[in-house]
Amino acid sequence: MLQAIADRIIVHLDEVKDISPILSTCEPIRNSGIVESIGDKVKSVKKGDHILFHRFDELPLPEKNHVVIRERSVLGLYTD
């Protein structure tokens, strides 16, 4: 597993369910997931948090369904 550094956060993306046969041909919008690793400068989230982040700020990682974002891209936390 990768370890995030500085203000970076590694996120495991949520699974997307097919909503409509029409939309199934489009690339799904995946801008939420579970925090798997945080850098030492990250203060607003912790490992295991379910977050929503700004679309197009993520960088894909070699590991499937994982992206890296900056802390400033976090838009909110999901709560139970």
Mean pLDDT, the chain, integer: 89
Q: What is the C-alpha separation between 69 and 18, in angstroms, rounded?
A: 25
Q: For 25, phi and psi rounded to 5 degrees?
A: -85, -15
In Å, how far from its chain's centre is CA 13?
A: 5
Return the percentage of the chain with pLDDT > 70, whole number. 84
Q: Is 73 helix (H, G, I), strand (E, B) or coil?
A: helix
Whole-number pLDDT of residue 71: 97
Is pLDDT above 70 for 33?
yes
Q: What is the pTM of this model?
A: 0.85
Read off the pLDDT band of 4 (50, 70, 90).
Answer: very high
